[in-house]
Amino acid sequence: MDALPLSQMNGRIIVRTIAVALCCVVAVGCKTRAPLMVAHRGAGDLEMPEASLSAYSNAVATACDIVKLDLLETKDGVVVMGHDKDLRRAMNWNVRVEDVTYGEIVAHGFLVPVGGYAHERIVRLEEALAIIKDIPQFWIDFKQFSPRFAEKVLATFMAAGIDESRLMVATFSEEALAYMREHHPAIRRVGHIGIWKDEERGFWHSNVRGASRTREEQIEAVVAWRDRFGLFGVNMRVLYGITTPADVAFLQRQGLWVSLWFVQSAETAAEYRNAGADAFVTDHVSEARRGLGLAISE
């Protein structure tokens, strides 16, 4: 197949970006469009180190709608990609990212090999954005937070030509959500919601309230979190059926955009599409799309 002219490629990117943004704005209560695909830590489909250059390239190749970016800062102020505050899991190195310089990390070696990818290194935010800048939207998850760090990160997006309309701050961090509401209200805020049950004591718990006797009380507490932080949406856990299709409908009736983590199988995707979920956070885009009856690039 002949390559598309650059002008035509750019036109397609613009149209896709506008379409995804419109889906996010009008999604609540809409049952006809497919959920947006959120590439978790850049993964997409193939077995490869998370938050690596290969992972971000794969997010582009699978035509994800949103990519989730976990952000940390090194001792010398370099913004790098990574989920954990230390490098034990990523590099078999028991140090905290904030305690070492970027140069020291690079000198130490590569990320732990996954799926035959043996020479991947930790990635700077600028490097990631150079690859994924044309993905329609971005989730920012500050894994360490300070106002100074937040402003540095946002400035990096602006320098890459990515404006606030394409950003969401999606995080567990109450400090980050509160700061963004006050200082950057135009950037949409999505609260990560973790609900779990203490089987031994029979109580339910979450990051949005203390113990409760019922799961439904935890779901209702999400609405108070919406009001507290002016949330655009919530990211709900679906593992073990923690969040049900009825919960999705309830939260959408409260005016919330609802994404679900993690949707890793075609069966889970089919179940929650019927519930009208707005987005799926996944490491397996093709599986999720198969459950929706979609081709991988749709």
pLDDT for 94 beyond 90: yes
DSSP 212: B
Tens-place pLDDT, residues 136-184: 999 999 999 999 999 999 999 999 999 999 999 999 999 999 999 999 9
| Structure-token match 């971000």, residue found | 56
Residues whose CB falls within 8 Å of the CB of residue 174, separated by 6 or more in sequence, listed in order:
229
Q: Residues 255, 268, 289, CA angle at the centre, nearest 5°?
A: 90
* Nearest by Cα to 90 from 77, 76, 108: 108
Cβ–Cβ under 8 Å, residues 42 and 113: no
What single string gives the DSSP state of each residue in 91-128? HSEEEEGGGS-HHHHHHH--PPPBTTB------BHHHH
Helices (H), the chain: 6-26, 53-61, 88-91, 102-108, 125-132, 147-159, 174-183, 215-229, 245-253, 266-274, 285-292
Cβ–Cβ under 8 Å, residues 187 and 158: no
Q: Give the pLDDT confidence score for residue 18 in this predicted structure.
A: 54
Q: Give the pLDDT confidence score for residue 7 in this predicted structure.
A: 46
Q: Where does the pLDDT of residue 241 fall: very low under 50, low under 70, confident under 90, or very high at 90 and above?
A: confident
**Average pLDDT over every residue of 268-284:** 91
Arithmetic mean of pLDDT over the chain? 90
Tens-place pLDDT, residues 18-51: 555 555 554 444 455 899 999 998 865 678 999 9
* Four-way CATH pick for 33-72+132-292: 3.20.20.190, 1.20.90.10, 3.30.9.30, 3.20.20.140: 3.20.20.190
SS3 73: strand
| Structure-token match 């035959």, residue found | 116
For the entire predicted model, the pTM comes to: 0.88
Show me where the domains of the chain are located. 33-72+132-292
Q: Which of 106-110, 127-131, 293-297 has the lowest mean pLDDT?
A: 293-297
Measured CA to CA, the distance from residue 111 to residue 75 in angstroms comes to: 19
> What length is written for the chain?
298
Cβ–Cβ under 8 Å, residues 234 and 193: yes
